[in-house]
A and B are shown apart, each in its own frame.
Chain A
Amino acid sequence: MFWFYNVINTLTIGLIGFSMPAGPARNRMVLYLAIGALLWNFLSILFQEVSTSVQWERWEGTIEYSFMAPIRRVTYLGGVCAWAVLYGLVRTVVILIAVAFFFHINLAGADLAGAAMVLVASSVPFIGLGLVAAVLPLLSTERGAQATQVIQGVLLLVSGVYYPVRVLPEWIRWAAVLSPATYTLDAVRKALLSGASVTSLFGVSLGLLASGVVLIPLGLGIFTLAERHAMRTGSLKRNG
């Protein structure tokens, strides 16, 4: 059901472009919006899935059993992240097929390899952000999930998902610089709309990977600290 909603949502956003007069500009706008919707779908799954897993385990009370298992936390979280990437890719491909079928998208001038490279590189910092967000439901089952939604909402607002970052009010535009999604969306659009090559997108991809190299250990570190806090205060338990 949720997949169906995602497909319809992406198509609805793409259809906004049809309010423009017919021609190349309209086709470009439709693709611009569809790329935004598709990428946001993928990146938000990476961001959300890790924290949802922790939240679900806390909700059901199984987290004590998972944390009592003789595996390192990095292994546990690595498994959750691998699932998030796989799930995100499959869901995005399904939506992509629906979008391509519905809008008859022509990607003749697009550099798909460049877009794929950026997408893979952007997974790394988003997993790092997901790990940071996963701390919130670890600290508080109910409020943690709400806080995750707030962070996700801010990223949606400032990253230029459906509009260029330059249209943001000046007082908030600085936040776009901090979001890995800004660079991902910009680079993927360059690849798909303007045919930017792998070589020209190499720098952005490297930057995204570098931010991931910072964000993943940061996320793991914060998660470990939060787990220790929970083990001191007894907040892991659901009942009993």
Chain B
Amino acid sequence: MSIAGAEFVRPVPVDPQALALCAVGVHKSFRERESGEHQWRRVDAVSGIDLAVPRGEILGILGPNGSGKSTLIRILATLLVPDRGSVEVFGYDIGRHRLLVRRLINRVSVEASFFKKLTAEENLAYATGLYGVPNRQAQAMAREILERLGMPAKKLRVPLEQLSRGQQQKVAIARALLTSPTLMLLDEPTTGLDPKSRREVQQFILDVRQRHDATIVICTHDMDEAERLCDRVAIINRGRFEAVGPPQELKARHGATMEAVFFTLIGESTAEER
């Protein structure tokens, strides 16, 4: 499979030896209103994350709700400025070389955000246009990607509001891939999908890594998904990595299954304490 946008998105010189992603001491906190009060408190969303992801790796980030997964993805996607620490994508600092980094990355979020009244075709034309990918090529490739994801191409002409959540998520994956990202940031891309769609998306992620030499960071709640897709899994809790390693290694250390690993490291009563 070729990647549609590759020849159109201006290439960024990348050192083949550079890490796809290198984060050092990343902190991010937000001001939050105390419930029902006029007082504010600071909440640490990400606390001292260090991360080194080699090119071609699929790194899974597993954690409960509110553990900092999406905040971390937004920082890596240049949408949030960390309070402290540094992040480099293929050797480019995300603060100083923001535009270069943006040519190397794309993101799929848990909410497939689109202009809901517009068709998938129109949404993709707008999104890929921002990257300079000609519409005709983008549409042709979108059809190919969506068919691989088990979605009929005729759905491209249907307003997004009439597509199911799973179909919207598949269009979101196509949107991200059409800009030829070298680093894909997937924030719970399979949440809410039926088992068949989930399996199709997972297989597609593996294909993209294999054929496109992409590096993938994927946040998920799904233990099986993490084990199936990821070379390494990072367990995040309260903004910190509790453990990082290949699934087999984590299981050898912390439990027989990924679920056991998760509960050993996170604790059964942790979810959404904050």
A interface residues (Cβ-Cβ under 8 A, vs B): 56, 60-62, 64-72, 76, 228, 231-234, 236-240
Is the Cβ of A234 less than 8 Å from the Cβ of B80? yes
Instruction: Select the residue from A67, A76, A236, A240 with max chain B CB neighbours within 10 A.
Output: A240
Known: A64-B79, A71-B130. A238 touches B74 (CB 8 A): no
Q: From B172, which residue of chain A is reached at the shortest CB distance?
A: A65
Minimum Cβ distance to chain A for residue B100 (Å): 8
Is the Cβ of B131 less than 8 Å from the Cβ of A70? yes
Residues in A with CB closer than 8 Å to B127 are: 65, 69
Top 3 A-B residue pairs of the complex, sorted by shortest distance between their CB atoms? A61-B113, A69-B130, A70-B102
Is the Cβ of A231 less than 8 Å from the Cβ of B79? yes
Q: From A232, which residue of chain B is reached at the shortest CB distance?
A: B81
- Provide the bound-state CA to CA distance between A67 and B187, in Å: 17
Q: From A229, which residue of chain B is reached at the shortest CB distance?
A: B81
Minimum Cβ distance to chain A for residue B138 (Å): 13
Minimum Cβ distance to chain A for residue B29 (Å): 10
Is the Cβ of A231 less than 8 Å from the Cβ of B102? no
Known: A69-B130, A70-B102. A64 touches B81 (CB 8 A): no
Is the Cβ of A64 less than 8 Å from the Cβ of B102? no
B106 at the interface (CB under 8 A from A): yes
Minimum Cβ distance to chain B for residue A206 (Å): 35
Is the Cβ of B113 less than 8 Å from the Cβ of A238? yes
- Provide the bound-state CA to CA distance between A71 and B133, in Å: 13
Residues 105 to 122 of chain B near chain A (Cβ within 8 Å): 105-107, 109-111, 113-116
Minimum Cβ distance to chain A for residue B139 (Å): 18
Is the Cβ of A234 less than 8 Å from the Cβ of B107? no
Is the Cβ of A61 less than 8 Å from the Cβ of B111? yes
- Provide the bound-state CA to CA distance between A128 and B113, in Å: 29
Minimum Cβ distance to chain A for residue B85 (Å): 14
Residues in A with CB closer than 8 Å to B113 are: 60-62, 64-65, 238-239
Known: A65-B127, A68-B77, A68-B107. A233 touches B114 (CB 8 A): no
Minimum Cβ distance to chain B for residue A203 (Å): 40
- Provide the bound-state CA to CA distance between A236 and B77, in Å: 13
B99 at the interface (CB under 8 A from A): yes
Residue in B78, B99, B109 whose beta carbon sits within 8 Å of that of A240 in the complex: B109
Q: From B107, which residue of chain A is reached at the shortest CB distance?
A: A68
B interface residues (Cβ-Cβ under 8 A, vs A): 9-10, 30-31, 70-71, 74, 77-81, 99-100, 102-103, 105-107, 109-111, 113-116, 127, 130-131, 175, 187-188
Is the Cβ of B31 less than 8 Å from the Cβ of A62? no
Residues in A with CB closer than 8 Å to B81 are: 228, 231-232
24 A-B contacts, Cβ less than 8 Å apart?
A: A60-B116, A61-B111, A62-B113, A62-B115, A64-B79, A64-B109, A65-B113, A65-B127, A68-B78, A68-B102, A69-B102, A69-B130, A69-B131, A70-B100, A231-B81, A233-B30, A237-B74, A238-B113, A239-B109, A239-B110, A240-B70, A240-B110, A240-B187, A240-B188
Residue in A60, A64, A66 whose beta carbon sits within 8 Å of that of B130 in the complex: A66
Is the Cβ of B102 less than 8 Å from the Cβ of A62? no
- Provide the bound-state CA to CA distance between A66 and B70, in Å: 18
Is the Cβ of A70 less than 8 Å from the Cβ of B99? yes
Residues in B with CB closer than 8 Å to A240 are: 70, 109-111, 187-188
- Provide the bound-state CA to CA distance between A65 and B79, in Å: 9
Q: A70-B99, A240-B70, A240-B187 are in contact. List 10 more A-B contacts (CB 8 A).
A: A60-B115, A62-B114, A64-B74, A64-B79, A65-B107, A69-B130, A70-B10, A232-B80, A234-B30, A238-B113
Instruction: Select the residue from A62, A67, A68, A72 with max chain B CB neighbours within 10 A.
Output: A68
Residues in B with CB closer than 8 Å to A76 are: 130
Is the Cβ of A70 less than 8 Å from the Cβ of B103? yes
- Provide the bound-state CA to CA distance between A228 and B95, in Å: 11
Residues in A with CB closer than 8 Å to B107 are: 64-65, 68
Is the Cβ of B31 less than 8 Å from the Cβ of A233? yes
- Provide the bound-state CA to CA distance between A224 and B186, in Å: 27
Q: From B108, which residue of chain A is reached at the shortest CB distance?
A: A65
Minimum Cβ distance to chain B for residue A222 (Å): 18
Residues in B with CB closer than 8 Å to A64 are: 74, 77, 79, 107, 109, 113
